[in-house]
Copies of this chain bind each other. A is one copy, B any other.
Amino acid sequence: MRSVFVFNEENNLKVLVYITLKSSVLDPQGKAIEKTLADIGFTGVEEVRQGKYIELEISENNSEKAKSKAEEMCQKLLANTVIENYRIDIGS
């Protein structure tokens, strides 16, 4: 009888993508939050900007490759590069 060991390596990398409006673009959501924070008593809060935060897993174990794949996703789908910037972090 032979024993077969399956080496079940997890090959996924977690990718974190932060998408923010460019600073020249008006952010009405951010302004609404800023005003509401002031209304409920939080003083001294400025420059509120709301963006998107996307987590995903890529079946890739090379973090450079995962990053360039995520960059392509941002360019093609996740971000509107006319008005938005994006930043990519690779987790584990």
A56–B56 alpha-carbon span in the complex (Å): 25
User: Is A58 in the interface zone, CB < 8 Å from B?
Assistant: yes
How extensive is the interface on chain A, given as a class? 35 or more
22 A-B pairs with CB atoms under 8 Å apart are A18-B53, A19-B53, A33-B77, A34-B56, A36-B77, A40-B77, A42-B69, A43-B59, A44-B59, A44-B60, A45-B56, A46-B57, A46-B59, A47-B56, A48-B56, A49-B54, A49-B55, A49-B56, A50-B53, A51-B52, A51-B54, A53-B53
- Tell me how far the C-beta of A80 lies from the nearest C-beta in chain B, rounded to whole angstroms: 14
A54 touches B33 (CB 8 A): yes
A44–B62 alpha-carbon span in the complex (Å): 14
